[in-house]
Structure 1
Amino acid sequence: MAGSADFDLYRPSEEHDMLRDTVRSLAEAKITPFAAAVDEEGRFPQEALDALVAA
């Protein structure tokens, strides 16, 4: 369906793609390293909050 004008209406904007990539990078760098410990300990993910607030 590539090349269809109708399909292009639903394509995310460049800004959307940039935001998604930025959030993914932040999550991979600052949140993922602590995810297993947070799950195992059943605690609030303070590291994630700190990373999001600092961004």
Structure 2
Amino acid sequence: MGVIHLDSIVRGAHLLPKFPSDAPVYREINYMNALDVYTSFYVNKFVDHHAFKIAF
């Protein structure tokens, strides 16, 4: 974990969790607890034109 300063945040990101191949996805997982449940995420660089330009 680390601290990210608010003045360094440019915009929000669309995160997709890396689902484990050998474990089920439970209905109790939602947008409020997904960051605590999953350990790694993909960043969706195609969410819009500006995100694509900034990320890549």
What TM-score does the superposition give when structure 1 sets the normalisation length?
0.24
More strand by share: 2
Bigger-Rg structure (1/2): 1
